[in-house]
Structure 1
């Protein structure tokens, strides 16, 4: 049957049959099943010396089909003739692949028709396709003819036939329910509805609403719901089961709750104990010291980054494979130094530690988490508490290979930040205090254990960096996913092999990936009507980068002087309604006088591709810059908030002028908050002399 000369003809034409071998048997057939499809048979099925002829109607098309299946194309027959039993008679024809493809074409079925929903008892293997014919009855003469026609008929019992008919009935019931469903409905972006509960069963489910989905739009900030949802989905589906049981993932609100000031109920508690008391119930049903990894997503200054507490159960470093104790590393500690940060064409260099300044915040609705550092309760931290990248390590690319130095695992707090440069020593110190208090609660009979910089080092890992101001949440999610996809095999510090952990496209297309995941889970959970998510702009399409046309925008810096805050708000400084005015910081040259008067130890340098500006705290100068930005057709170009706020609200944005040490912003957060709404690449900056 595999020769190319085969031409399919009419099996009822027996003109070329040998004398005495021609025969025809007709049987009334109720239906033909090619699972999961059902077809009405409009004519009696004819069994001839050449093969089987079946004629019927294609469902919903009113088109007739005719099948001519040659006897030599049938490799096996399973039958239940139901001579005296109540079960209906049936015959199943197992066909060669070439014949199966012909049947599929005649029945106009898609390529994925293959379905092994019904299992039959009998000798031999199951093949790619099988036709099941259900008859009203099969008389004795027809039965003997079919047996003689196919010398490999396998008769099944009444119970096996009954099981097949039960499955057929169940399949028909599901198809009936599906046919009663309402047609799909296209959702609108402004509909305030719940899209999905994940996981659909059990406690602790997350409700994803339309505003959460909308924050997947390009140049928008991911909110806490999307972060928590994807981390939970990662844990349930992508993290290997062996690691899943050894991993605990805190929600995005854990660190926020841990560090939010509340009224002290017990004045005898230390600051660390008060912080721990706020979240003590979060681990009521879990002992984190039985885990290897504790995932802590953190939001500061509307910026997402990640902390992973590694091996909190260990008291010191051990070999990675054999768990044999090894000598602790002699770690070098950070010294105060300039740490440059590059975002697009903007370079930010911090000249002092972040802990000495107060950072402004963006609107609360950006990430759903209020972030006022004046209300944050964190432990005191110092850069000297953090392991330096100069520490000698088996991971270091510059280290001479030494086979005698084994790979190790050790207690660590690793920081993964897509905007590296800001100090995270407070975060590490706060988490150490939390572990100390939690250990005392979970291990009351064990020897007291205080987590410090020696037995729980902190380290900021060099990882892929974002090149805009809105993708920090995507990078956090990719860090977690990559951490389990490509596990670290050696925890000696510093860890330098993750610089090229993943590429730009992998993390950029995550907005589209998460949207597809939400739609898939919605389809699985909605049984009555399919809801289709609104079409929104992603930076990728089908996993490939998309170039959107640039908007016509311009911006200029104008230097103004001699105005205090009240005068600045006057009508004399109103501009055309098509412009947005935002304050930016005075230049270093403008603040030379102020520099002599202040003893502040904090400074920051902000360098763009066209101009350099230095910012000094403590100044009371009244001179200021105004940023005037023209908007095409009055539309704002800033990314929308995480919960779908109107972009036009950017026209109301005002950034405070730095006039006191309390109002000083760190360069990284200041520039991020200031430029996020205007797009660095679209700015044309010039200085206008008074």
Structure 2
């Protein structure tokens, strides 16, 4: 059904298009444009499932409007990536491993980008008519990094923080050229569960685990952790196959891109289900996927203590407005592109 929306009569728009196209984003001469048609726009009606065109268009738009710093750190795959990766073959090709054969189907998708130089790789997934998001975090990192935050109690009783140059390896903490061996109390860091405060004196890098609260405290956060995050608005728990397929893909991509083998197993790249806002109907899964990406790009996660607690990431009402917001966006882009073409 076509709706008049905020002063724009869609019935009057439709005849102006010979192929039903509303917009192309990004517009020519930029490459990789997504074409949105009148038919695509109708899936934004209440109760309708978002199609792959709207998903891909809005993801491309979000990355386009993100800051340069965020864009540099991020890569967004098309919704067809996972579909192509998991496509069934009619015949097996000799003795090629399943993982290598799957990688062959999508190897050209990264010919212009090295995903191992990215901090966040977004993979939209559609399974059984349900959309959810997978984020490959720090795929080029071989172990988590822990950074120390120096917490000082100021005279006015407020708390000040200063970031210190600490990086945690599997069995040591590195500070410049100096190495501090981890005590047993810090072995939890190697298992990514460090919940501990330390005292680091100016001239002494020893580990002191029991000090009074009035002394300087050094606590650790994990700003970088290689992991696979699932954000699912239906709180489904059957994602093990997705984790395996994406780990296989990363191993094959690393071998092709870097010319060496690397293990992306669960010990090296932990998988986790994020605690995110959930949908309250059967049709808004695509909207939640888009909102997850939008919120992530707008305010990237700065620590990776898993599972991520993001239940209050955004209000449900924000998602309920999303259909109208995307429709308005498409129509405004249509108007501007028409003006540009007429000029």
Distance in 2 (alpha carbons) for counterparts of 1:281 and 1:323: 38
- Show the counterpart of 1:278: 105
- Show the counterpart of 1:526: 338
Q: Give 1:245-644 correspondences, 5 Å limit.
A: 245-264=72-91, 266-319=93-146, 322=165, 324-327=167-170, 328-330=189-191, 403-444=218-259, 446=260, 448-496=261-309, 498-527=310-339
Q: Deviations over 1:35-73 (max 9, x none)?
A: xxxxxxxxxxxxxxxxxxxxxxxxxxxxxxxxxxxxxxx
- Cα drift, residue 407 of structure 1: 3.2
Change (3 A) 1:393 1:511: farther
Q: Matched residue of 2:339: which SS?
A: coil
Give the counterpart of 1:186 among 1, 7, 12.
Answer: 12
- Cα drift, residue 470 of structure 1: 0.3
- Cα drift, residue 528 of structure 1: 8.2
RMSD of Structure 2 on Structure 1 (CA): 2.6
Structure with the bigger RCO (C-alpha within 8 Å, sep 6+) is 2
Give the counterpart of 2:69 among 229, 242, 255.
Answer: 242
Contact 1:221–1:470 (CA under 8 A) maintained in structure 2: yes
- Show the counterpart of 1:203: 31
Distance in 1 (alpha carbons) for counterparts of 2:67 and 2:51: 26
- Show the counterpart of 2:205: none
Distance in 1 (alpha carbons) for counterparts of 2:285 and 2:194: 30
Change (3 A) 1:195 1:323: farther
Contact 1:264–1:274 (CA under 8 A) maintained in structure 2: no
Contact 1:247–1:291 (CA under 8 A) maintained in structure 2: yes
Distance in 1 (alpha carbons) for counterparts of 2:232 and 2:334: 32
- Show the counterpart of 1:168: none
Query: What is the TM-score of this pair, normalised by structure 1?
Result: 0.38
Change (3 A) 1:264 1:392: farther
Contact 1:419–1:466 (CA under 8 A) maintained in structure 2: yes
User: Quick check: 1:214 aligned with 2:214?
Assistant: no
Distance in 1 (alpha carbons) for counterparts of 2:166 and 2:250: 22
Q: Matched residue of 2:167: which SS?
A: coil
Distance in 1 (alpha carbons) for counterparts of 2:114 and 2:302: 25
- Cα drift, residue 251 of structure 1: 0.2
Distance in 1 (alpha carbons) for counterparts of 2:55 and 2:314: 19
- Cα drift, residue 268 of structure 1: 1.7
Q: Matched residue of 2:272: which SS?
A: strand
Change (3 A) 1:393 1:453: farther
- Cα drift, residue 409 of structure 1: 1.1
Change (3 A) 1:521 1:513: same
- Cα drift, residue 286 of structure 1: 1.2
Q: Give 1:214-233 correspondences, 5 Å limit.
A: 214-233=42-61
